[in-house]
Amino acid sequence: MAAARLPPTALSLKQFLQRQKVLGIYRNMLRTIQQVPDGNDRKYLKDWARDEFKRNKNATDQDSIRMMITQAKNHLEELQKSLALARS
């Protein structure tokens, strides 16, 4: 009965959780980019991350979304490792 009241564009629970995961990765990416010491590199990375997430924001295929989440996590981990090595 309550389902009939939902707007047609409402997200399923799985889609909602996936969206939250993507937003969390995006926030972590931006936080990590803030630690980049060089201003030009920081701006480049920030623009790159923003463009990538915007370019893929209308994706609906669950398999491709999972693949993009995995790729984003890998990029984030690489950036974090690079920053850790630069500090050492």
pLDDT above 70 coverage of the chain, percent: 94
pLDDT > 50? residue 1: no
pLDDT > 80? residue 5: no
Is residue 73 classed as helix, strand or coil in its secondary structure? helix
Domain range list for the chain? 19-36+63-88
Q: What is the pLDDT of residues 38-77, one digit of tens each?
A: 999 999 999 999 999 999 989 889 899 999 999 999 999 9
Indicate the pTM of the whole model.
0.83
Classify burial at 85, counting beta carbons within 10 Å of its beta carbon; exposed 0-12, middle 13-18, buried 19 or more: exposed
pLDDT, mean over the chain: 90
Closest CA to 27 of 17, 37, 16, 19: 19
Determine how many CB atoms are found less than 10 A away from the CB of residue 40: 8
